[in-house]
Amino acid sequence: MDLLNPNTGTIFWTVLTFILLLLMLKKFAWKPILDALDERENKIKSAIYQAEQDRKQAEKYLQEQKALIEKAKKESAQIIADSRDAAENMKKEIVDQAREEAGRLIEQARQEIDLSKETAISEIKKYAVDLSILAAQKVVGETLDTHRQKSLIEQYINELS
C-alpha cells in the first residue's frame, strides 16, 4: 500500500524531471519538430496551390481546344457551303450556256430554214414565170419582149401571194 501513498520526495523529483525534460525538448526538439511541421505544411500548401494552378491551366487548355474544334467545325461547314455554292453556280452557268447554245443553234437553224424557204420560193417564182412565159407564148402564138413578160408575170404572182 505504500505505493498508493504519494511521497513528497518522489513527487518533487518527478516534477523536476518533467520540467527539465520539457525545457530540453523546447530547446532541442520542439524547434526542429515545429520547423519540420511548418516545412511540411508549406510543401502541402505549395502542392495544393500548384495543383490548383495546373487544374486552371488544364481547364484553360480544354477551353482553347474546344474553341479550336468549334472553329474548325465552323470553317469546315463554311468550306462545304462555299463548295456547294460554287458547284451550284457552275451547274447554273453550264445550264445557262447550254440553253444559250441551244437557242443560238435554233436561231441559226431558223435563219437557214428561212433562207432556204426564200430561196425555194424565189426559184419557184422564177420557174413559174418561165413556165408562164412559155404557156403565154404558146397561147398567144407570138413572143413578147422577155423583160416585159417577166415583169407582167411577176406582178401577177405577187398579187396572188
- pLDDT tens digits, one per residue of 84-115: 999 999 999 999 999 999 999 999 999 999 99
- What's the CA gap between 3 and 9, in Å, rounded? 13
Alpha-helical (H) ranges within 25-145 are 31-140
Q: How many angstroms separate the CA atoms of 161 and 159, rounded? A: 6
pLDDT at 3: 62
**Low-confidence residues of the chain: pLDDT under 70:** 1-4, 138-145, 148-149, 160-161
Q: What angle do CA 54, 57, 63 make, to 5 degrees?
A: 140
- Residue tagged 414565170 (cell numbers): 129
Query: What does the alpha-carbon distance between residue 76 and residue 110 come to, in Å, rounded to a whole number?
Result: 50
**Could you tell me where the beta strands, DSSP code E, fall in 19-157?**
none
What's the confidence (pLDDT) of residue 121? 85
Q: What is the pLDDT of residue 67?
A: 95
